[in-house]
Amino acid sequence: MSRPEARNAQGLQMTYELNAAFDRAARDDDIKVIILAGDGPHFSSGHDLGGDRGRTWRDFPVVGTWAGFDLGGAEGRYAREKEIYLEITERWRNLPKPTIAQVHGKCIAGGLMLAWCCDLIVAASGARFRDPTLEMGVCGVEFFMHPWEVGVRQAKEWLFTSDWLTAEEAKALGMVNRVVADADLASFTLDLAARIARKPAFALKATKEAINHVQDVQGRRNAMMHVFSLHHLCHANNELQWQMPVHPDGLPPKVREAFMKGRADGK
């Protein structure tokens, strides 16, 4: 991911370019392991809340079957987030080759989804993880893997408090496979990928399919769809209360102050 100026925030363009890159790697028989990394000081700051600079879904190749992105009410937002957040991340999770997230710096909200869709996570010792979406009035990011990544009770505490997890804490909870010195992150991840790549390609694909299937028959996919609906119920509630999809507590302080002053002034 190469948007260092935006801390690798995930806008439409990066989402579909990443999807195309994953597809190319998946279809290239000479590639056996895929590494996802980020340029700049951070792995990813999450969804790009700065907008898509005038571009819309019409400028990119839609990969899902859900449509109606321009419809009003909750319908349009549900369709859009199902395409670019939930289903495309699920698609990346199910790539037929092992994937490794190489995480450094901050990994926030939507950035968690980019790491979680990978089979392994290698983190720099200085890496930090956070999902602050409860402050925005929604119940976690759209690809809701929290209970499977850190366990049920820790997922509740992590979301309720919106605290940071260090790389070592994330490893202790089972979310991260390895923690290495920041300076060694790239070389360690590449060495790990090389060790995995020495295994037979079809055995790697079958093993990934087997483990993902075990997780899914335990109810992961059905639970995630339910949480995605709750996520959009939260968006709709915010629209009714605040006339925007997020709670004002999740806005930057100066923006929130201006917003609340405008409401008090009847604007």
Q: Domain total for the chain?
A: 1
Q: For residue 258, is pLDDT > 90?
A: no
**Nearest Cα to 120, choosing from 186, 36, 45?**
36
Tens digit of pLDDT for each residue in 29-55?
999 999 999 999 999 999 998 888 889
Q: Is 71 helix (H, G, I), strand (E, B) or coil?
A: coil
Residue 220 sits in a domain whose CATH number is 3.90.226.10
Which residue in this structure is represented by tokens 């008090």?
264
The proportion of the chain whose per-residue pLDDT surpasses 90, expressed as a percent, equals 91
Task: Give the Cβ contact number of residue 174 at 10 Å.
Answer: 12
**How are strands ordered across the β-sheet holding 128-130?**
106-108, 128-130, 165-166
* β strands within 133-184, DSSP E: 165-166, 178-180
Looking at every residue in the chain, the average pLDDT score rounds to 96
Identify the CA nearest to 44 among candidates 103, 87, 126.
Answer: 103
Tens of pLDDT along 106-157? Answer: 999 999 999 999 999 999 999 999 999 999 999 999 999 999 999 999 999 9
Question: What residues make up the domain containing 119?
Answer: 4-264
Dmax over CA atoms of the chain, in Å, equals 67
Q: Cα separation of 48 and 267, whole Å?
A: 27
The count of other CB atoms within 10 Å of the CB of residue 236 is: 14
CA dihedral 117, 12, 224, 111 (to 10 degrees): 50
Mean pLDDT of 160-165: 98
Residue 68 pLDDT > 70, yes or no?
yes
pTM for this structure?
0.95
What pLDDT was estimated at residue 267? Answer: 66
Upper half-sphere CA count for residue 138 (Cβ side, 13 Å)? 26
Strongest mean pLDDT among 64-68, 113-117, 252-256: 113-117
Interatomic CA distance for residues 132 and 147, integer angstroms: 16
The residue written with tokens 């890159």 in the block is 21
